[in-house]
Amino acid sequence: LWPWKPLGTTYPPQDELEQKVAERAGKMAERTNLRPIGVIESNHAAGKPVALVCHAPGALQKTHAADGTPLVRGRRVTGFTNSEEDAVGLTQVVPFLVEDMLKANGGLYEKKPDWATHVITDGNLITGQNPGSSEAAAEAVLAMLKQSA
């Protein structure tokens, strides 16, 4: 089990890498708490764009559609790949692998070669594979907003 402590608990870093690892893993865990889940679910139900890139699709772990099924079930999605996580040496550090979680929740996971820009839009759900996909994901959000205006 991941040794989580209550939010607000501080961990003095031993070095710069440890600090970055703690920040990344902590952000993934915080994205799966109830407040972001409610925002994602309500925005999705309202037809508003829901965009997540890199590790952020991890926030979809506990989200559900109006019928109670996982929000990603049957949806085309992407996020940080297992091989990208392995390439940065954090496979054993993060609380879960985004790719595995999306597949386990019934998402139709798609990926391109490591570090390639890759964005998928399925309905109002926009997901990007890695940090290099941020600009393309933002463009997808803007296009969606223009269509709804």
Mean local confidence (pLDDT), 6-26: 45
8 A C-beta contact, residue 91 and residue 97: yes
Catalytically active residues, by annotation = 54-55, 85
Q: Is the pTM of this model over 0.85?
A: no
Only one residue has tokens 């223009």, namely 146
**φ/ψ (deg, to 5) at 52:** -140, 135
Smallest CA-to-CA distance from 73 within 109, 43, 119 is with 109
77 and 120 Cβ atoms separated by less than 8 Å:
yes
The reported pLDDT for the residue numbered 39 is 86
Read off the pLDDT of residues 83-112 as tens digits, 9 standing for 90 and up.
999 999 989 888 899 999 999 999 999 999
Pick the residue with more confidence: 137 or 26?
137
94, 80 contact by CB (below 8 A): no
Distance CA 100, CA 134 (A): 21
pLDDT 10s digits, 115-132: 999 999 999 999 999 999
Give dist(CA 138, CA 134) in Å, integer: 6
Q: State yes or no: pLDDT of 139 exceeds 50.
A: yes
Mean pLDDT score across all residues of the chain:
83
